[in-house]
Amino acid sequence: DADGLRSIVAPVELVNGGSRSQVWDLEGLTSFSTLGTPVRVVWSEDENTRRTRVDGRNLTFTESNRWVWVTNLPRDAASAATVSRWGHHRWDIENCGFNEPAALWGMDHCFVHHPIAIVALLLTLALAMATTYLFYQRNPKPQARRHLTRLALAGRFREDIVSYRGLSVWPAPQPDG
């Protein structure tokens, strides 16, 4: 339905830097009969101008994408531009909320399998990540932040905790025998 209606509804043009989008806002569609309620479809066709360097030459190319979002939000609650922006930002949520913790914070495997222990480990990890994010965003001066990444700061925190007052959180090695 949405694809057919695009030919009779004029799109809205959105421009943001090197990105240009044509966005169709189609409300009241009953294509998803299992939902039992009409939905709104925001259809976006984006063109992004990208620059890259290959063999010492600067190249410019255009990347095209088609996005379709289905929502129950009415137009007065969220414009088509807002729905489109939220749809694109979901990748930020996925990258920062799942990929980074798994790749950089050790959330890929739990070595204990009791449900309470897993929850405790995940909450501790979330607390460590949130504390590091907040401290990095709000405490260091811009000059200090320029030379220290958030992950490097987290590493320094870890080193400080491990060597607190000359003590170690790791047990001393025991001699064999």
Full-model pTM: 0.55
Alpha carbon separation from 104 to 50, 84, 93, 129, 132 (Å, rounded): 28, 29, 16, 10, 13
Rounded CA-CA distance 157/159 in Å is: 5
Quote the pLDDT of residue 97. 73
What value does the mean pLDDT take over residues 65-83?
90
pLDDT in tens, 8-21: 788 888 888 778 88
Residue 74 confidence (pLDDT) above 80: yes
Q: Which residue has the higher pLDDT, 97 or 11?
A: 11
Of 73, 8, 6, nearest in space to 45 by CA:
6
